[in-house]
Amino acid sequence: MDKVIGIDLGTTNSCVGIVENGNPVVIPNRGGYKTTPSMVAVTEAGKRLVGHIAKRQAITNAENTVYAAKRLIGRKWTSPQVKNAVATSSYKVVEGPHNDVRIVLRDKEFSVPEVSAMILQEMKVIAEDYLGEPVSKAVITVPAYFNDNQRQATKDAGEIAGLEVIRIINEPTSAALSYGYGRNVEKVVAVYDFGGGTFDISILEIAGNGVFKVIATAGDTFLGGEDVDARVIDWLVQGFKDEHDIDLRQDRMALQRLKDAAEKAKCELSAVSEAEVNLPFIITSSRNEALHLQRTLTRVVLEELAEDLIARTVDICRQTLEDARLEKNEVEEVLLVGGMTRMPKIQQAVAKFFEREPSKGVHPDEVVALGAAIQGAALVDDKQDMILLDVTPHALGIMTFGNYFEELIPANTTVPTQRQKIFTTSRDNQTAVKILVMQGDSTKAEDNELLGEFILTGLRRAAKGTVEVEVTFEINADGIVSVRAKDLETGLEQSIQVTATSGLTRDEIKAMIENSKDELVDRRTSEEFESARQEAEKTITQIEELFPQVQQVVASSDFGRDAIEKAKGIVAKARQAIEKRDAAAVKEQLEGLMRTHRMFKGVVAKT
């Protein structure tokens, strides 16, 4: 039987799982970690890095390191979310040929699905290394609140990564699946999922016979841990500005260091009440002095900074409960999913709203991938009697005269589903109708997402109102939409699979698949080089971070200047070896790098 992996493609971290002998397990990566940072970078030598290696070099290569690509997937260039990302990212985001988004890495443009594919490919390789055999099928999770364009773009990413995506499922649903699997529970559960980039809430009914039915879902695809980090960054930047009148945002490297420090402090504050933010040599003043950033962030201040963001999640919970037509006391269990739910204030807010302590029984980082693996196993194994009934998070309809949105399938309708409606022509002798397919929750068409458009031509010439066109909307189990239109008298029919308007063309996807295959061959043949290079780059970063301090201490002596020159020489040689992709030469330089690093640490410790 085919093995299917479950991938939680997260904004900040990704995780891969599989069902082995009936047991869902998370597969650790080569470093032994169960999650892998969703980060991609391209080095000076043009080499792609994914995961921890990419994260480790993010500070020194900020412009060519992508994080949180999931925030951009399936979005249009003109959307406010993309504008925000353009303004705040340390990497360059530009307009693509289809009103889509491209990310520039070392002068080369990559589509967002391509960047996500690099992460998915990494997860595929992690699974293959563990299983010792190739894997070709996957279930990938997406935020429940993703629209059709975002789902389709995620599917494209899977395809580019060489995976057959047999199902896209919603993250909270996946978490509930993992929670209820093999337990024979009968409960109404709420899944509160606050991750790095998105917030989702789903309310589900788990029936004892393996039926998981989503009652209502809602969320915000631009509300996550990244926003909390941004608040902390603002606070640090403002404090520094007040003190030195310098805007740290001008400097990409400083910004990347701030981002790292902000996230680190935020995570620390889940366990302690004060965290130290200490960034030596963050920038140089106009008088050429090296300036440091040192501040203490308390849990109380962090909670104030994040207060309105947490309140937004609670408002969405309230709305979803209303949509589900349930009272709080009818929710029998609350599951916390996503890294942000480790924040005590968030746990308190959820407990307060639902009037019950959330369950501690699921692992917030792993539960989504496990659920995806369970769903994958169930899809290829007919013996497993598990039924997943999810809902469409947004209403689906068409644009009608006067820019109105006419709803055909309301939000929270169980999928797969199909609805029909008959329209008539609005002019005499009208031979064509244009159908604009939209998704969203506003009665005004312009506020909703345009999924696609098509024209039904060749209608019979007749008086207005006499030609009847039957329009059928279908949403499949992946949440992806197709539309058919039929002239009821002639039987003339046309249909479209509503592919993402902001997505990629078939030809582009094909080219990207080829490209990513080449990359994989390259990756597999150079593992020895990779591990030496990782170690060398890490040490170079550490040495370079210490350079300014060491320089200050030793520059007054000939001996000291000599030592610095030597160190620079070793770093340059190691870089050359990395550039040439020569594993033996990198290993040779590694010893010198380590020695230099030890010496530098010794010098700094003495000051």
Is residue 479 involved in binding ligand AMP (CB under 6 A)?
A: no
Interface positions, 340-399, toward ligand AMP (CB under 6 A): 340, 342-343, 365
| Residue 172: cis peptide before it, omega within 30 degrees of 0 | no
Among 12, 57, 439, 596, binds ligand AMP (CB under 6 A): 12
Is residue 13 involved in binding ligand AMP (CB under 6 A)?
A: yes
Identify the active-site residue in 193, 226, 227, 508: 193
Is residue 180 involved in binding ligand AMP (CB under 6 A)?
A: no
388 contacts: CB under 8 Å, gap ≥ 6: 169, 173, 177, 212, 375, 378
Closest distance of CB 12 from ligand AMP, Å: 4
Among 10-18, 275-283, 490-498, 521-529, the segment contacting ligand AMP (CB under 6 A): 10-18
Instruction: Establish whether 247 is a catalytic residue.
Output: no
Interface positions, 287-306, toward ligand AMP (CB under 6 A): none
DSSP E strands: which ranges in 10-143? 13-20, 23-26, 36-37, 40-42, 48-50, 65-66, 92-95, 101-105, 108-111, 137-142
Q: Which of 359, 338, 268, 348 is nearest to 314 (CA)?
A: 348
Is residue 267 involved in binding ligand AMP (CB under 6 A)?
A: yes
Size of the site for ligand AMP (CB under 6 A): 18
Is residue 109 within 8 Å of residue 515, measured between CB atoms? no
Closest distance of CB 191 from ligand AMP, Å: 13
Among 225, 371, 397, 503, binds ligand AMP (CB under 6 A): 225
Residue with smaller CB distance to ligand AMP, 225 or 393: 225
In angstroms, the Cα distances linking 557 to 104, 561, 569 are 44, 6, 19
Identify the active-site residue in 100, 114, 122, 171: 171
Q: Which of 198, 234, 168, 549 is nearest to 390 (CA)?
A: 168
Identify the active-site residue in 3, 8, 76, 478: 8
User: Cβ–Cβ contacts within 10 Å for residue 368, how many?
Assistant: 34
Which residue's CB comes closest to ligand AMP? Answer: 225
Q: What is the Cα 168 distance to its own chain's centre? A: 14
Instruction: Establish whether 303 is a catalytic residue.
Output: no
Interface positions, 195-224, toward ligand AMP (CB under 6 A): 195-196
Among 10, 17, 51, 96, binds ligand AMP (CB under 6 A): 10
d(CA 440, CA 145): 11
Instruction: Establish whether 381 is a catalytic residue.
Output: no
8: tokens are 């939680």
Is residue 263 involved in binding ligand AMP (CB under 6 A)?
A: yes
Instruction: Establish whether 193 is a catalytic residue.
Output: yes
Closest distance of CB 172 from ligand AMP, Å: 12
**What is the gyration radius of the CA atoms in the chain, in angstroms?**
27
27: tokens are 């597969």
Among 339, 371, 393, 397, binds ligand AMP (CB under 6 A): 339
Phi/psi of residue 265, nearest 5 degrees: -65, -45
4: tokens are 């299917």
Residues that bind ligand AMP (CB under 6 A): 10-13, 195-196, 225-226, 263, 266-267, 270, 338-340, 342-343, 365
Q: Which residues are catalytic?
A: 8, 70, 171, 193
